[in-house]
Amino acid sequence: MLRALLFAVFLLFSSPLWAQFTIQGRVTDAETGDPIAFANVILKGTTTGITTDFEGNYLIQSRTLSDSLQVSYLGYITQSKPLLNQPDQTINFQLRPTSFELEAFVFEAGENPAFEIIRRASERRKDFDKRSLNAYETKNYTKIEIDIDNLSEDFRQRKSVQKVTSVLDSIQELTNDEGEKILPVFFSETVSKFYYRNNPELRKEVIEKSKVSGVGITDGSTTSQITGSVFQEYNFYKNWLSILNKDFISPIADGWKTFYDYDLLDSVLVGQDTCYKLTVYPRREQDLAFSGTIWIKKDDYSLKQVDLTIPKTANLNFVDRIKIQQELEPSSAGPLIPSKTRVLIKIAQVTDDTAGLLAKFYTATDSVVVNDPKATSFFNQAVELKPDFGDSDANFWVENRPDPLSSEELAVLQMVDTLKRIPIIRFYSEGLKFFATGYKMIGKVDIGPWPGFFNYNDVESVRLGMGVRTNYKFSKKWELKGYLAYGFGDETWKYSGSVTRILDRNRWTTIQAYSNKEIDQVGLEIANLQSNSVFLAASRFGTLRSPYLSTNHGINIQREFFKGFLVKAGMNSGQFDPLYNFYYLEKDTREYKSSFETAEIRLGIRYGRDEIIIINDNERASLGSLKWPIFEVNYTKGMQWLGGDMEYSKLSFYVYQRINMGLLGVGRYELDAGKIFGEVPYPILKNHLGNETVFYTTAAFNTMNFTEFTSDQYFSIRYRHAFEGFLLNSIPLIKRLKWRAVGNANVLWGSVENYNVENVPAVDPEGNPLNTFGRLDFGKPYLELGYGIENIFKFFRVDFFHRMTYLDNPGAKPFQVKISAQFIL
């Protein structure tokens, strides 16, 4: 009897009526191969379904089947696939993006119900912002992949590319379901510890292990510093998020109602939390704002997860799509820490016969510790590499990856390693690096810089030069540099050489000895224009203005005592030999003198409270500050007892800051003030930088002539503003062109003491008139105002400048047009 009963029960539960069907799979983006998190997967014609997890995986268990499985998600074309009548089956989906457009929502009475949810979420931002913690630290795993995509047939048929595509075609995993190919060029994995401290606000990342593979990558140490999580941090509890150096407004920012509309879609269960599911989209299609979906917890109005994109219509160049997905978890103290973040940036083709670019970033966070702040001295270096950061075996990555690498990612690694060995790829990658840095690496030395290989001007006629410097392969403690050039017109050799010893890389400490002999121009000295290569090159070709042969020998030392606080000191012996008709009256004898020697001691301080610095091979490189200004104070003392011809002192003060103004765009200001004490020839004074070229530059006063004004005490404010899409986005025809308005305001106060005026004779010893310098009246500032348009054809900028004062000066032009080319997003 019992046996018969058990048999009957077995038959009952094994019949189709009670059968358990399991359907699983993964939903990915057909263009990028990235997983699509939070997509809706449903048995078509039923209410049985689920959403995909952060990795795009789903698992449905049902007692019944329909004829097909349907996947849908906002911004993608809905797709269905047939089901088989079998208990277990795996079905993967590749969804294609579509234009994200929402119809207008009309509410007949009352407020949009989504507004109250967003209002409460915005009001509680400080409760959940991780920056409100005294401190926190996390262990992070970061993965970055960069691919070339949109490989057009014209691009594939290029002779230089065919060797690459033949290898690409042999790797099936790099082909999506539609047969489109991607060409991987970079892949990295990084395990790091991230530390944050409040009051003062400090950040640091310690790279514990890093594995970098990329075309053109020679030294992993520099790359590893920017592949960690510190540069992939996205906090939606901030009003503005910086992405690709552009500022995007958060959907729960203080001014949310100015930028966004919302729609309350549903109330859903996410894990153990009941959440409001809302769609967000910009009020103005060209604003730098997000579209997509956010989930807000019902019980406390905190963010649970986000899936947001930046629409194509946003006022950005070259960017086809930016997508951010993030899951957040509460810390033990309450504020939220992102547990997983995925960012995709798709760069469009510049022209139809070129390729696009695809960058993927993934960060997983665990081992969170809160409110245990490190000492401020711990944060001295923003990014620190552990001594053995590059030494790791396969077992380490297996143990530290949150998820195993997919078959596609393994194929990416294989392809990158293959590409590095193809000669044509090496040729192009090294060529691009040579153009960008100016140097070509050959073993332990670099040859360059290429702009110094050839010059032509009225003093030297044809000039040929060549330089060499050692690189990190030679030594990470010593750097040697040398440059030699010959002018066929003046038949004179020019040279420069330096030896630098790096004493401490943590508290950046170096000592350098140098010697050089070069042609400079009064007010256009090379040392002041190194960061403005186009303007420098334009000013050094053709006719040189007030040229002189400058010879210098000296020693410099610098040390960073704590984060952002760098102290510099040095001694310099220099000689000024004019190559134009120049004389001054010697202070005591009032005799005519042409050349002079200087002997100087120099001291300087630089402070950037939140400036991000990385070590680029054997040099420091600044990635700018986050929100605080950067200060510099410099003092120079010229002394006769060290061999100089005169006694003097120079004191200068400089401040720079970038200011995010939200809807109004981004402003940048520079304050520059100084005072020179003592009677000196005017080349030692402050010769304010003018601009007689047709090119716009931020380093100069763009309506001032070269050497038009000189001062021994001065104060200037230079302000420039990029309105981004503000103003022009409201004009129907202009907004389609994506032009952006810019503005400039430059003011200069200055004067010269009488004794420095009187030491410049009106004529030379033969009675020929001499050029004298122009002076400013401190009560009447020099003022120029500018406005213009950037992003013309995505590359060009035109500025219109009006000179408002000193219009009676010889050669003064009240109105000038300046042009420039720039690569901006």
Within-domain flag for 309: no
CB 585 within 8 A of CB 766: no
Verify that 490 and 468 share a domain, yes or no. Answer: yes
Within-domain flag for 48: yes
Say what the pTM is. Answer: 0.76
Verify that 468 and 553 share a domain, yes or no. Answer: yes
Verify that 765 and 712 share a domain, yes or no. Answer: yes
Which of 44, 77, 95 terminates a domain? The answer is 95
CB 358 within 8 A of CB 149: yes
Q: Which residues pair with 181 in a beta bridge?
A: 175
Query: Degrees (nearest 5) of the Cα angle 205, 209, 213?
Result: 110
Q: Which residues pair with 310 in a beta bridge?
A: 322
Q: Which of 319, 289, 261, 185 is nearest to 823 (CA)?
A: 319
Which of 437, 472, 489 terminates a domain? The answer is 437
Domain membership of residue 83 as a residue range: 2-95
Distance, CA of 290 to CA of 660 (rounded, Å): 18
Distance, CA of 139 to CA of 506 (rounded, Å): 22
Verify that 773 and 674 share a domain, yes or no. Answer: yes
Within-domain flag for 78: yes
- Give me the phi and psi of 584, to 5 degrees please: -140, 165
Q: What is the DSSP letter of 126?
A: H
Verify that 447 and 581 share a domain, yes or no. Answer: yes
Q: What is the DSSP letter of 777?
A: B
Distance, CA of 385 to CA of 564 (rounded, Å): 18
Per-residue pLDDT reduced to its tens digit, 458-507: 999 999 999 999 988 899 899 999 999 999 999 999 999 999 999 988 78
Within-domain flag for 320: no
| pLDDT attached to residue 703 | 95
Distance, CA of 713 to CA of 786 (rounded, Å): 25
Within-domain flag for 128: no
| pLDDT attached to residue 11 | 39
Distance, CA of 613 to CA of 644 (rounded, Å): 37
Within-domain flag for 120: no
Q: Which of 587, 687, 602 is nearest to 637 (CA)?
A: 602
Kindly report the CATH number assigned to the domain that includes residue 29: 2.60.40.1120
| pLDDT attached to residue 554 | 96
Verify that 673 and 818 share a domain, yes or no. Answer: yes
Q: Which residues pair with 28 in a beta bridge?
A: 35, 94
Reduce the DSSP state of residue 340 to 3 states and report it.
strand
Verify that 446 and 427 share a domain, yes or no. Answer: no
Within-domain flag for 154: yes
Verify that 419 and 458 share a domain, yes or no. Answer: no
| pLDDT attached to residue 515 | 97
Verify that 415 and 545 share a domain, yes or no. Answer: no
| Residues with pLDDT less than 70, the chain | 1-19, 99-110, 150-181, 216-225, 227-230, 349-355, 420-429, 432, 436, 529-539, 825
CB burial class (10 A; 0-12, 13-18, 19+) of residue 197? Answer: buried
CB 728 within 8 A of CB 739: yes
Q: Which two tokens stand for residue 23?
A: 């359907």
Verify that 701 and 588 share a domain, yes or no. Answer: no
Reduce the DSSP state of residue 345 to 3 states and report it.
strand
Verify that 409 and 480 share a domain, yes or no. Answer: no
Verify that 730 and 671 share a domain, yes or no. Answer: yes
Q: Which of 315, 313, 314, 312 is nearest to 346 (CA)?
A: 312
Which of 422, 437, 452 terminates a domain? The answer is 437
Q: How many domains does the chain have?
A: 4
Altogether, the residues listed in the chain come to a count of: 825
Distance, CA of 219 to CA of 227 (rounded, Å): 13
| pLDDT attached to residue 65 | 83
Distance, CA of 378 to CA of 356 (rounded, Å): 41
Distance, CA of 278 to CA of 292 (rounded, Å): 8
Within-domain flag for 726: yes
